[in-house]
Amino acid sequence: MLKYVKPYKRFLGWSVILNILSAVFNIFSFALIVPILQILFKINDTVYGFIPWYSAVARFKDKLINNAYWYVTDFMSVHGGSMTLLIICAVMVFMTLLKTACYFGSSAVMIPIRTGVVKDIRMQIYNKIIALPIGFFSQERKGDIIARMTGDVQEIETSITSSIDVLIKDPILIIFYFGCLLAISWQLTLFTILFVPVMGWLMGVIGKQLKRKSLEAQTLWSDTMAQVEETLGGLRIIKAFIAEKKMSSRFNDITEAMRKKNNKVATRQAMAHPVSEFLGTMMIMIVLWFGGSLILSSRSPIDAPTFIYFMVMMYSIINPLKEFSKASYNIPKGLASMERINVILEAENNIKEIDAPKTIEDFKDRIKFENVCFSYNDSKQVLKNVNLEIEKGKTIAIVGASGAGKSTLVDLIPRFYDATSGSITIDGIPVPELSLKSLRSLMGNVNQDAILFNDTIFNNIAFGVANATKEQVIEAAKIANAHEFIMEKEEGYDTNIGDRGCKLSGGQRQRISIARAILKNPPILILDEATASLDTESERIVQEALDRLMSTRTTIAIAHRLSTIKNADEIIVMNDGNIVERGKHEELLALNGYYRKLNDMQAL
Ligand code: ADP
């Protein structure tokens, strides 16, 4: 937690100064109660003489009090009691003004810390999400991550960051007020202290379970967000299968569980204030009784007005103590959220660059797989001893039943995952030795579902290229057969395409993503079933665009429809993680093996 506060140190300094000032002004403004009471009740008939400030006959405190009385009685004898009262009240108002101004200032300087810390944490999570390898997210659900980013960060904001305020302000107030109490009467103060451990113990008993309970509540919040996320993505199916009731009751289960958990957390939290209030008042009453008895029996070390001042100061100390105990509840809640956030922030990124990675400007020769094995989780081998060479300029097609390991194979080239054993080299350099930037700059991807962002068409095409000009984007769109339909849109290239491009048809989305790949102009092109989800007509248009794109590049194409890869230089047939056949279309047909079987099935 401290590391998040560090950048805002200077604000903390100001907060300390302003809080000290506020405490001092408070002490002196209330000290004026004593002369006010004395004047009102005509208690004090001592005649004061002025003691010079530099004389050594008395302690500073005594000199201060004596001389203050001297000024007051002197003033009273000249201007009368009523006037003196007015002046004292005016001074008290002025002191209070200073005090509250400092108080405001001390809270105000905390605001940039609070908002800053929250923003920093959000940014860190986001940057971490971007940095983590794709493999991380198949384990942690999206809704869970969103929950951590929203709910838990919010929790930190309300609990920990608002407690920073308390943690700075209250110790200062408590120390100063306590010092003041000691100065008034150390005997009474000592008597009071006896109660503090009792109070602390009682508060601790209540606060103990809070952290665990709020952790459980936040976990349920994660599940809630996961369901919302799932529902938004699956609305079409939910409606088609008339599953609204079922989903609703599933959601009800989780929200109800969360409600119950939150009830417990909130009840415990709600106890903090009343309990400390009750204990505080009890403490004051006991002191009142004790001190009052002393004064009544005239064995008291202080007079009645000073005793009332003592009581007022003690009451002032109760509030920071109360806030303090509230913070001791809030902080564990916030720490519980912090733990959940740290799961993401401290997640290990296993796709690391080596120290001093190599860079390559261009792809010159070949990509080579040697005895590559891979498994997602140690249980099942997804790729078994794959050997493969992809020469520059060639088009390699990968075919096979679904689940054969085709996507996994191509994911290894840009290091979305690392091979479990064996090596993958580009121009003789193993991919883990290349910088991720130079490795991934070599490749352009077109996937089965075009991945687009909620932005304009222009920005979606220019996504991977900094400072792309309008001409370049239009040029790319033309090659991708996309220019025409874009121009038919009302706002042309400035049309916003909605979430994931939902305002476009499947074929249009695909052509935008092809235009994006064309603009990036990578030497290696990876097509993952780029036309699989399209109807015949849009497939023809998209395929035409792809052919243009592939003609000048090295292409690795995963294909479902064999008709689209007839002209490939080599076809790799995969089954269950193995390459079972390879060769050109005709050769493979002549082999009369697995490829032939696939081909015949599709011909039907
Ligand atoms: P294809 O692209 O040929 O359809 P994939 O490469 O997607 O096949 O998947 C190969 C195998 O790996 C399948 O059995 C699939 O269940 C498994 N698999 C794919 N992705 C993951 C993942 N993220 N975690 C665990 N297993 C996976």
- Residue 141, class by beta-carbon neighbours within 10 Å (0-12 exposed, 13-18 middle, 19+ buried)? middle
Query: What pLDDT score was predicted for residue 324?
Result: 77
Q: Is the CB of 138 within 6 Å of ligand 1? A: yes
Bridge partners of 395, per DSSP, are: 555
| pLDDT more than 90, % of the chain | 21
Query: What pLDDT score was predicted for residue 232?
Result: 84
Q: What is the 3-state secondary structure (H, E, C) of 483-508?
A: HHHHHHCCCHHHCECCHHHCCCCHHH
Residue whose CB lies within 8 A of the most ligand 1 atoms, among 408, 411, 578, for a mutation test: 408
Task: Determine the Cα–Cα distance for residues 99 and 122; give it in Å rounded to an integer.
Answer: 36
Helix (H) or strand (E) holding 583: strand 578-583
- For residues 99 and 177, the answer to whether their CB atoms sit within 8 Å is no
Question: From the CB of residue 252, how many other CB atoms can be counted at a distance below 10 Å?
Answer: 10
Closest by CA to 514, choosing from 463, 475, 480, 488, is 480
Q: Phi and psi at residue 36, in whole multiples of 5°?
A: -60, -50
Would the pLDDT of 390 be above 90?
A: yes
Close Cβ partners of 397 (under 8 Å, ≥ 6 residues apart) = 557, 558, 559, 565, 568, 570, 571, 572
Q: Is the CB of 151 within 6 Å of ligand 1? A: no
Close Cβ partners of 595 (under 8 Å, ≥ 6 residues apart) = 399, 571, 573, 581, 588, 589
Query: What pLDDT score was predicted for residue 573?
Result: 93
Q: For residue 563, name the pLDDT band (cuts at 50, 70, 90).
A: confident
Q: Is the CB of 448 within 6 Å of ligand 1? A: no
Task: Determine the Cα–Cα distance for residues 578 and 558; give it in Å rounded to an integer.
Answer: 15
- Long-range CB pairs of 193-197 (<8 Å, 24+ gap) are 195/279, 195/283, 195/286
| pLDDT more than 70, % of the chain | 95
Q: Which of 419-423, 496-500, 535-539, 557-561 is most confident?
A: 419-423
Question: From the CB of residue 117, how many other CB atoms can be counted at a distance below 10 Å?
Answer: 22
Q: Is the CB of 147 within 6 Å of ligand 1? A: no
The separation between CA 330 and the C-alpha centre of its own chain, rounded to angstroms, equals 18
Q: Which residue's CA is the nearest one to ligand 1's atom 18?
A: 376
- Note the pLDDT tens digit of each residue in 271-282: 777 777 787 788
- Note the pLDDT tens digit of each residue in 455-513: 899 999 998 888 889 999 998 898 888 898 899 988 899 998 888 788 888 888 888 98
Task: Determine the Cα–Cα distance for residues 226 and 143; give it in Å rounded to an integer.
Answer: 4
- For residues 398 and 572, the answer to whether their CB atoms sit within 8 Å is yes
Would the pLDDT of 105 be above 80?
A: yes
Would the pLDDT of 140 be above 70?
A: no
Closest by CA to 321, choosing from 382, 266, 280, is 280
The DSSP result for 88-150, as a single string, is HHHHHHHHHHHHHHHHHHHHHTTHHHHHHHHHHHHHHHHHHHHHS-TTHHHHS-HHHHHHIII
Q: For residue 41, name the pLDDT band (cuts at 50, 70, 90).
A: confident
Would the pLDDT of 254 be above 80?
A: yes
Q: Which residue's CA is the nearest one to ligand 1's atom 7?
A: 407
Query: What pLDDT score was predicted for residue 44?
Result: 64
- Note the pLDDT tens digit of each residue in 330-389: 788 888 888 888 888 888 888 888 899 999 888 999 999 999 999 988 778 999 999 999
What average pLDDT does range 412-425 have in this prediction? 92
- Note the pLDDT tens digit of each residue in 172-224: 888 998 898 888 888 888 887 777 677 667 666 666 666 677 778 888 888 88
Query: What pLDDT score was predicted for residue 206?
Result: 64
Q: Which residue's CA is the nearest one to ligand 1's atom 21?
A: 376
Query: What pLDDT score was predicted for residue 406?
Result: 92
Bridge partners of 129, per DSSP, are: none
Average pLDDT, the chain: 85
Please give the single-letter amino acid code of residue 511.
R
> 60 C-alpha to center of ligand 1: Å?
82
Query: What pLDDT score was predicted for residue 524?
Result: 92
Query: Would you state the structure tokens that stand for residue 119, as one six-digit string?
Result: 């923003």
- For residues 447 and 528, the answer to whether their CB atoms sit within 8 Å is yes
- Note the pLDDT tens digit of each residue in 44-72: 667 777 777 777 767 777 777 778 778 87
Burial letters for 342-380: b for 16+ Cβ neighbours within 10 Å, e otherwise? eebeebeeebeeeeebeebeebeebbbbeebebbeeeee
The separation between CA 168 and the C-alpha centre of its own chain, rounded to angstroms, equals 24
Angle between helix 9-31 and helix 304-345 axes, rounded to 10 deg: 160
What average pLDDT does range 32-45 have in this prediction? 75
Would the pLDDT of 398 be above 90?
A: yes
Residue whose CB lies within 8 A of the most ligand 1 atoms, among 134, 137, 376, 418, for a mutation test: 376
Give the atom of ligand 1 at the shortest distance from the alpha carbon of 409: 6
Which carries the bigger pLDDT value, residue 7 or residue 38?
A: 7
Bridge partners of 507, per DSSP, are: none
Task: Determine the Cα–Cα distance for residues 589 and 586; give it in Å rounded to an integer.
Answer: 5
Closest by CA to 442, choosing from 579, 556, 281, is 556
Task: Identify the three-state secondary structure at position 556.
Answer: strand
Question: From the CB of residue 60, how many other CB atoms can be counted at a distance below 10 Å?
Answer: 8
Query: What pLDDT score was predicted for residue 136?
Result: 81
Burial letters for 502-511: b for 16+ Cβ neighbours within 10 Å, e otherwise? eebebbbbbb
Closest by CA to 226, choosing from 253, 260, 251, is 251
Closest by CA to 221, choosing from 347, 333, 349, is 333
Would the pLDDT of 295 be above 70?
A: yes
Query: What pLDDT score was predicted for residue 544?
Result: 80
Q: Phi and psi at residue 370, in whole multiples of 5°?
A: -125, 115
Among the listed ranges 343-352, 390-399, 476-485, 539-548, which one has the minimum average pLDDT value?
539-548
Which carries the bigger pLDDT value, residue 383 or residue 139?
A: 383
Would the pLDDT of 438 be above 80?
A: yes
Would the pLDDT of 269 be above 90?
A: no
- For residues 34 and 9, the answer to whether their CB atoms sit within 8 Å is no
Query: What pLDDT score was predicted for residue 551?
Result: 80
- Residue 203, class by beta-carbon neighbours within 10 Å (0-12 exposed, 13-18 middle, 19+ buried)? buried
Give the atom of ligand 1 at the shortest distance from the alpha carbon of 401: 3
> 315 C-alpha to center of ligand 1: Å?
67
- For residues 306 and 34, the answer to whether their CB atoms sit within 8 Å is yes
DSSP 386: E
Instruction: Classify residue 405 as left (phi > 0), alpha (psi -120 to 50) or beta.
Output: left
Tell how strand 554-558 and strand 578-583 pair up: unpaired
Would the pLDDT of 556 be above 90?
A: yes
Query: Would you state the structure tokens that stand for residue 507, as one six-digit string?
Result: 């074929």
Query: What pLDDT score was predicted for residue 564?
Result: 78
Query: What pLDDT score was predicted for residue 560?
Result: 81
Q: Is the CB of 403 within 6 Å of ligand 1? A: yes
> 404 C-alpha to center of ligand 1: Å?
8
Query: What pLDDT score was predicted for residue 572?
Result: 93
